[in-house]
Copies of this chain bind each other. A is one copy, B any other.
Amino acid sequence: MNKAFCINEDRVADVRKLMKSDKIMNDLAATFKALGDLTRSKIVFALSKKVLCVGEIAALLNISQSAVSHQLRVLRDMKLVRSRKEGQVTYYSLDDIHINFLLKECFRHVME
């Protein structure tokens, strides 16, 4: 990790000035990480199509209710989904419209 000759200090300094705070970068990475699991990305995609309760998500993805609940917690913590309780049933939906845009942009990358 010694300073190498190939390093242009000015260029590095330029970029360093533009870097966001560690808190913001942490949140950014954590948001991507929350979406970076097959089960969770399927849940988020499904919720981008329709509001669903926990049992419906489990049935749709053919996984256990417990697994769904655990993953919904991760998504809730990152404010990617929100819940609304009606009696015994808890319905989940995307937290905001940006999540939809995020999905769409990523699909665009994957498709090309």
Contact = CB atoms under 8 A, between A and B. Distances in A.
Nearest to A101: B105
A77 interface: no
Interface residues of A, number: 63
Given A18-B49, A24-B110, 20 more contacts: A6-B88, A7-B56, A11-B52, A12-B52, A12-B60, A14-B49, A15-B49, A15-B60, A16-B60, A25-B41, A25-B42, A29-B37, A31-B109, A36-B36, A96-B112, A98-B112, A101-B108, A102-B102, A102-B106, A102-B109
Contact of A11 (B6, B34, B56, B89): B56
A110 B28 contact: yes
The 5 residue pairs across chains A and B that have the minimum distance between CB atoms:
A33-B36, A32-B36, A32-B35, A36-B36, A29-B41
B1 A58 contact: yes
